[in-house]
Amino acid sequence: MREAASGGAELVLLPEWWAAGGTAAQKRAAAQGLDGDALSWAAVTAAELKIDLIAGSVTELVEGEEKLHNTSVHLGPDGRRKAIYRKIHLFDNDLEGASFRESDHQLPGDKIVTSGAADGTIVGLSICYDLRFPELYRLQAVDGAKILLVPACFTRKTTEAHWQTLLRARAIENHCFVIAANQVGEIAPGMQSGGDSMILDPWGTALAQADTTSEMVIGAELDFDELERIRSELPSLASRQPHTYGSVQRGIS
């Protein structure tokens, strides 16, 4: 965060589970409320550096609930909370000989969330597996988002196979900048995450890209005039026909 801010960053995104990862049991042991040490530190540091901080995601312990939430928090340059997003889509899959069942220990969120950066730019919040659900990002773009934020912990296999393709699709179809911070290296015994964090422009071009083997800071300057030019010349958002999307017809009409 300090390296990014010293390089001129006004908005910083951390990856999923930046404060504590590991196995499900380790995440539960490290779970905290929103006033816990991790997010309190993040708030103080955001205020010190005077940045918009999207604090990746943390494992949130909610009073009265047995299961946990995977939660991203937007902290403003004054350190105050601007938005809270709880991951909607839970990763229940069988990959690389391992079974992932987030729903066994997590609850899904039920709200799509956008927030405003200090300069007024609307950003859309999401977490990891959400990236595979384009409707979430389309609704954020329709709500005014110009930046889509994706803290993640994609497995190495899915990073290599799908990560870049999905990020480019979300950028192109919504004419938004996409900032994606992915974990890298071993995050739990036998589980590797693939790195390759990226910043993409609304044309799907990579403005910055991390490698796949080590932690690093990447940054880019976002040209919102270019975003508006692309949206004007290829107005796919304006060309939407939402009144036709409510039903599906089969056969000959």
Please tell me which residue in 60, 102, 128, 153 is annotated as part of the active site.
128
Q: What is the DSSP letter of 236?
A: T
Count of CB atoms situated within 10 Å of the CB of 49: 19
87 is catalytic: yes
Alpha-carbon gap, residue 184 to 25, rounded angstroms = 20
Measure the CA dihedral 31/194/115/238, to 10°.
-150
Structural contact between residues 210 and 185, judged by C-beta atoms closer than 8 angstroms: no
Please tell me which residue in 82, 87, 102, 153 is annotated as part of the active site.
87
Which residues lie across from 59 on neighbouring strands?
Answer: 70
Alpha-carbon gap, residue 29 to 185, rounded angstroms = 21
Alpha-carbon gap, residue 111 to 108, rounded angstroms = 9
Please tell me which residue in 16, 27, 60, 102 is annotated as part of the active site.
16
Q: How far is CA 124 from each of CA 10, 140, 148, 178, 180, rounded to the nearest angstrom?
A: 16, 6, 5, 9, 12
Phi and psi dihedrals of 226, rounded to 5? -65, -40
128 is catalytic: yes
153 is catalytic: no
Task: Using alpha carbons, select from 139, 145, 131 the residue that is nearest to residue 175.
Answer: 145
Match 């597996």 to its residue by tokens.
129
Catalytic residue annotation? 16, 87, 128
